[in-house]
């Protein structure tokens, strides 16, 4: 069986599996699973990049604690922005909820906020996050471009 035939078969099998998942996670699941299914000739990496996913073969994923350390932020609000950036950029979440942000704090081994909704409200009031759709009654958020530029500046990776 040729490499392309194997790739097609793997993509079709993956597609059938993903159809069974909840609609809100299908794209993210496909982006996550596709590079792991097909890695022989790099076609999956190209396909994942076309879908907008960040694929970095042979590299360890960036931990949230490492991102906070690299950015050298100190305030609770700045850490929340960095963790939201981690959710969007490194966890491939198109949007995040207040519970996602709380889990990111826990993953980073940082003190999690007592009231994450209040923290989100402060981020929204300062123009760092914006509301997106509700998924199953849970409000979703997304970083604003100014917040993304802040994090990139803190990390020293600001794009020109």
Spatial CA neighbour of 63 closest among 9, 25, 104: 104
In this predicted structure, what is the pLDDT of residue 19?
A: 74
Question: What is the dihedral angle through the alpha carbons of 128, 160, 54, 22, rounded to the nearest 10 degrees?
Answer: 30
More confident residue, 88 or 10: 88
pLDDT category at 158 given cuts 50, 70, 90 is low
pLDDT in tens, 59-75: 678 889 999 999 999 99
- Please list, residue by residue across 58-82, b when 16 or more beta carbons sit within 10 angstroms of its beta carbon and e when fewer do: eeeeeebeebbeebebeeeebbbbb
Report d(CA 145, CA 125) in Å as an integer: 15
Q: What residues contact 4, with CB distance under 8 A and at least 6 apart?
A: 43
pLDDT tens digits, residue range 32-63? Answer: 666 655 554 444 444 444 444 454 455 678 88
Higher pLDDT, 109 or 31: 109
- For 27, 34, 95, 117, 151, the CA distances from 67, given in Å and listed in that order, are 25, 26, 19, 23, 10
Q: In whole angstroms, what is the distance from residue 34 CA to residue 76 CA?
A: 36
User: For position 15, what pLDDT does the model report?
Assistant: 72
Which pLDDT belongs to residue 136? Answer: 87
pLDDT top residue among 132 and 55: 132
Q: What does the pLDDT average to over 73-82?
A: 93
């Amino acid at each position: 069986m040729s490499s392309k035939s194997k790739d097609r078969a793997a993509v079709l099998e993956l597609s059938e599996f993903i159809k069974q998942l909840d609609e809100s996670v299908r794209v993210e699941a496909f982006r996550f699973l596709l590079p792991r299914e097909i890695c022989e000739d790099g076609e999956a990496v190209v396909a994942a990049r076309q879908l907008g996913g960040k694929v970095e073969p042979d590299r360890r994923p960036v931990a949230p604690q490492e991102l906070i350390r690299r950015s050298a932020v100190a305030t609770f609000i700045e850490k929340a922005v960095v963790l939201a950036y981690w959710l969007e950029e490194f966890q491939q979440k198109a949007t995040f909820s207040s519970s996602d942000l709380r889990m990111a704090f826990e993953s980073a081994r940082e003190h999690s906020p007592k009231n994450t909704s209040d923290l989100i409200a402060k981020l929204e009031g300062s123009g760092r996050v914006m509301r997106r759709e509700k998924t199953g009654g849970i409000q979703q958020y997304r970083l604003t471009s100014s917040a993304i530029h802040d994090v990139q500046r803190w990390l020293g990776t600001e794009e020109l």
